[in-house]
């Protein structure tokens, strides 16, 4: 499955397994898949680019069999080039890397595509929209962080919305097919701000995996923001 073939004018939900119960990760992935999500978001942290550690390719290959959905892999790594290939081999379909990392986006995008995966470019809250403009016509997705990367459960940064809109407007101006994702603090309320600014792919960890009303309700609530989506 490819993200370029999914809708651009609908809300897509990408639950972040960071908020799941790691002791039963396979079942947790199956649970959100059956609840109607569109992809599975994997947060990879190296304890250097961000002050936290998560997991690596061996875990990705173990859980690959629990869902056929896109494994949307968010590399929060200083050296993404060093590990991108191993994640793709393990089953990652889409690799997003940070524009602030050490590697040359040009080379990394080429490598990801030649390895048969799709590429996303992502930027931290302090990085300006224009930093990703040179690669907009070569990536399948842009990910705008709406929290400082490193931890789940943080508050949504509403002040990132002008940046989301600036990237959306550039995508529209150049008539490109690029998915626009936001990540951090997305729930049934903040999703409306993100959608109104033009983001259509919603990463949601806490609000999906830890929702007392269940994952299906959580996902439906996020998709309801389609009515305000800026297309």
Order of strands across the sheet that contains 201-204 = 12-15, 201-204, 179-183, 141-145, 118-123, 94-98, 70-76, 39-45
Our CB check for Zn ion shows the closer of 74 and 223 to be: 74
In this chain, which of 57, 184, 193, 201 binds ligand DX5, going by CB under 6 A?
A: 184
- The answer to whether the CB of 93 falls within 8 A of the CB of 118 is yes
Tell me if residue 183 is catalytic: yes
Q: Please say which residue, 167 or 202, places its beta carbon nearer to ligand DX5.
A: 202
Instruction: Report CA-CA distances (Å) from 151 to 29, 118, 179, 186, 205.
Output: 19, 25, 23, 13, 10
What does the DSSP 8-state code read for residue 183?
Answer: E
Number of residues that bind ligand DX5 (CB under 6 A): 21
From 67-75, 106-114, 172-180, 218-226, span contacting Zn ion (CB under 5 A): 67-75
Question: Which residues are CB-contacts of 65 (< 8 A; sequence separation ≥ 6)?
Answer: 26
Closest CB to Zn ion among residues 22, 169:
22
- 79 counts as catalytic: no
SS3 115: coil
Q: Does 43 bind Zn ion (CB under 5 A)?
A: yes
- Residue 105 lies near ligand DX5 (rule: CB under 6 A): no
Instruction: Residue 65: count other Cβ atoms within 10 Å of its Cβ.
Output: 11
Catalytic-role residue among 33, 103, 183, 221: 183
Are the C-beta atoms of 158 and 180 separated by less than 8 Å?
Answer: no
- The site map against ligand DX5 for 144-183 (x = CB under 6 A) is ---x-xx-xxx----------------------------x
**Contact range with Zn ion by CB under 5 A, out of 37-45, 104-112, 151-159, 218-226:** 37-45
Could you tell me the two tokens for 200?
């259509």
Contact 13, 195 (CB under 8 A): no
38 binds Zn ion (CB under 5 A): no
Asked if 120 interacts with ligand DX5 (CB under 6 A), we say: no
Considering beta carbons, is residue 80 or 149 the nearer one to ligand DX5? 149
Nearer to Zn ion, 43 or 193 (CB): 43
What is the spatial distance between Cα 87 and Cα 73, in angstroms, rounded to a whole number? 8
Name the one residue in this structure whose structure tokens are 């439906």.
220
Q: Does 33 bind Zn ion (CB under 5 A)?
A: no
Active centre residues (catalytic): 43, 183
Contacting positions for Zn ion (CB under 5 A): 43, 74, 183
Contacting positions for ligand DX5 (CB under 6 A): 16, 18-19, 41, 43, 74, 147, 149-150, 152-154, 183-186, 203-207
């Amino acid at each position: 499955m490819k993200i370029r073939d999914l809708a651009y004018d609908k809300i897509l939900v990408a639950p972040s397994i960071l908020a799941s119960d790691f002791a039963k990760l396979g079942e947790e992935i199956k649970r959100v898949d059956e609840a109607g999500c569109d992809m599975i978001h994997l947060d990879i942290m190296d304890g250097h680019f961000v002050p936290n550690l998560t997991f690596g390719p061996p875990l990705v290959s173990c859980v690959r069999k629990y869902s056929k959905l896109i494994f949307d892999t968010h590399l929060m790594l200083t050296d993404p080039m060093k590990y991108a290939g191993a994640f793709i081999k393990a089953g990652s379909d889409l690799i997003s890397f940070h524009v602030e990392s050490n590697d040359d986006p040009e080379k990394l995008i080429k490598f990801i595509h030649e390895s048969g995966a799709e590429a996303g470019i992502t930027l931290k809250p302090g990085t300006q929209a224009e930093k990703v403009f040179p690669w907009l016509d070569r990536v399948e997705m842009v990910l705008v962080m709406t929290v400082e990367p490193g931890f789940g459960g943080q508050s949504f940064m509403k002040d990132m919305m002008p940046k989301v809109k600036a990237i959306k407007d550039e995508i529209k101006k150049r008539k490109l097919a690029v998915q626009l994702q936001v990540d951090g603090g997305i729930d049934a309320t903040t999703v409306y701000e993100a959608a109104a600014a033009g983001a259509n792919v919603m990463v949601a960890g806490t609000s999906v995996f830890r929702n007392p009303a269940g994952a299906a309700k959580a996902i439906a609530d996020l998709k309801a923001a389609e009515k305000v989506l800026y297309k």
